[in-house]
Chain A
Amino acid sequence: MAGSHNKLSPPRWLLAELTYSCPLQCPYCSNPLDYAQLSSELSTDDWKRVLKQSREMGAVQLGFSGGEPLVRKDLVELVDYSHELGYYTNLITSGYNMDEAKIIALKEAGLDHIQISLQASSKELNDFIAGTESFEHKKETAKLIKKHGYPMVLCVVLHRQNIHQMKDILDMAIELGADFVELANTQYYGWAHHNRDQLMPSQEQLQNAEVIAKEYQASQQGRMKIYYVVPDYYEGRPKACMNGWGTTFLTIAPDGLALPCHSARQLPNFDCPSVRDHSISDIWNTSTAFNYFRGNDWMKEPCKSCPEKEKDFGGCHCQAFLLTGDAKNADPVCDLSPQHHTVTDAIEQASKTSQTGEKALLFRNTKNSKLFNH
């Protein structure tokens, strides 16, 4: 059961962040701002050990992510190995630099599914947000993915600069033959948090977008599944983060840090364990980091006495830390949180920025990342 100390559930989902390298520069990237200074990447053998140990624990869904996982020379070898272990393998990619030979090689290695991202429905905006000319190439890649029989998720991250394209984005998804569309409103971690004033849409923009999403959900029923991920800053209650801390998800970062959620690295004094030093079973069962928010003992008010605490587990701890400075506070997205004003202030601040002219977006690249070295 989620959140229970007594009966530890095994990890079901392994997110393998193979690298922080990426040819794109999306300003809403969830990678850490200071990724450029993080130590060297795990070797192929390290990854194989992680994959085997996690599978033995019970992990069955596997996402290869990054950065851009295609940058890793051993991607096909890792897919092949994972397929042999019995994982359902998902590649989460920008599609950039993915040619037909690679699509075929991955298929032969047993890759089950590809999620490809586009940044917008028009070339001009896509290439601006991606920081790289990539629109036509990505669309060609999407067609090749379908040509070779993969199920395909098309992912578009939504924010103030592209949310008006909702209808065109969905028409594009139909044209490309997507089986699933993930319309994910930006979540404000990493680079997205830094660029929040320039990315956060207004309530009105969101309402318009949601109406369109619902129309298409109805008209595409049975053909294309559309997931619309709501932006939590505008919700009165927090999301049940990671389905409960240390209950389901295990992320391994490029440098080998094991994270209960992919933002957990930023939590201070958290001491996330590395797969270079510990087995997955030790990390999952006994590490301080993975046990930190299991159960309810860590909770403060208003979560401690809240009737909904088994539903949302207090929300997102990384968000609580980012906005209130203490990860043990209630996620301030919750309107019961005494710090809820940090969210409403952020909305107001973003609205002012949109009216007074845009501040420049800070694009995610190595040069900009070095600004955050400490």
Chain B
Amino acid sequence: MSLLTDQALQIAPGYRLQWESAQNMFVLLYPEGLIELNQSSAEILQMCNGSNTQADIIQALEIKFETTGLENDIVNFLNIALDNGWLTQQT
């Protein structure tokens, strides 16, 4: 599945993004599995709320972290997340 630039991103059905205070980190939960997320992955996934597109996410995170040039990293991560089935896009 390739990333569609004009389509909103959301966490796939059956997957759940959740803050775990015991471990002080976000995790992505799915049937019989979990992925422990580093800070940047967690920041991106939190933006995948069903209304943000790739461009929205890049813009929001660049503003939040007062930086530029995040596009490559974010697009790479979104592609990996789509390939792994963590995210979906409406078509």
- Please give the residue numbers on chain A whose beta carbons come within 8 Å of chain B beta carbons, in ascending order: 10, 12, 56-58, 60-61, 63, 86, 88, 90, 112-113, 115, 149-151, 153, 179-180, 222, 225
Assuming the contacts A112-B14, A113-B14, A151-B13, asked whether A61 and B33 have C-beta atoms less than 8 A apart, the reply is: yes
Known: A61-B29, A112-B29, A222-B1. 8 other contacts (CB 8 A): A10-B22, A12-B23, A88-B29, A88-B34, A112-B16, A112-B31, A113-B30, A151-B13
Interface positions of B from 2 to 24, Cβ below 8 Å from A = 13-14, 16, 18, 20, 22-23
A-B pairs, 6 with minimum CB distance = A151-B14, A58-B22, A88-B29, A113-B31, A151-B31, A222-B1
What chain B residues lie within 8 Å of A222 (beta carbons)?
Answer: 1, 85
- Given A222-B1, A222-B85, A225-B85: A151 touches B30 (CB 8 Å cut-off): yes
Q: How far is the CA of A222 from the CA of B82 in the complex (A)?
A: 9
Q: How far is the CA of A76 from the CA of B33 in the complex (A)?
A: 22
Residues of B within 8 A of A (CB): 1, 13-14, 16, 18, 20, 22-23, 27, 29-34, 85
> Smallest Cβ distance from B59 to chain A, in angstroms?
28
Q: Do A60 and B34 have beta carbons less than 8 Å apart?
A: yes
Q: Which residues of chain A have C-beta atoms less than 8 A from B1's C-beta?
A: 222
Q: Provide the residues of chain A in CB contact with B23, threshold 8 Å.
A: 10, 12, 58
- CB-CB under 8 A for A86 and B18, given A60-B34, A115-B31, A151-B13: yes
Contacts A113-B14, A179-B14, A222-B85 given; indicate if A153 touches B20 (C-beta within 8 A): no
Q: 27 pairs across A/B with beta carbons < 8 Å?
A: A12-B23, A58-B20, A58-B22, A60-B27, A60-B34, A61-B29, A61-B32, A61-B33, A63-B32, A88-B30, A88-B34, A90-B32, A112-B16, A112-B29, A113-B14, A113-B30, A113-B32, A115-B31, A151-B30, A151-B31, A153-B31, A179-B14, A179-B31, A180-B31, A222-B1, A222-B85, A225-B85
The complex places the Cα of A115 from the Cα of B14 at a distance, in Å, of 13
A-chain residues with CB within 8 Å of residue B14 when the two chains form the complex: 112-113, 150-151, 179
Task: Note all chain B residues with C-beta closer than 8 A to A151.
Answer: 13-14, 30-31
Query: Considering only CB atoms, which chain B residue lies closest to A225 in the complex?
Result: B85
Pick the most buried of B23, B27, B30, B34: most chain A CB atoms within 10 A of its CB.
B30
Whether A61 lies near B20 (C-beta < 8 A) is: no
Could you tell me the distance between the alpha carbons of A113 and B13 in the complex, rounded to whole angstroms?
A: 11
**B32 to A, closest residue via Cβ:** A90
A-side contacts of B27, CB under 8 Å = 60
Q: Which residue of B lies closest to A56 (CB)?
A: B22
Chain A nearest Cβ from B31, distance in angstroms: 4
Nearest-neighbour CB distance to chain B for A16, whole angstroms, equals 14
Determine if B20 and A60 form an interchain contact, defined as CB atoms under 8 angstroms apart. Answer: yes
Nearest-neighbour CB distance to chain B for A79, whole angstroms, equals: 15
Q: What residue of chain A has the Cβ atom nearest to residue B1's Cβ?
A: A222
In Å, the complex CA distance between A71 and B1 comes to: 41
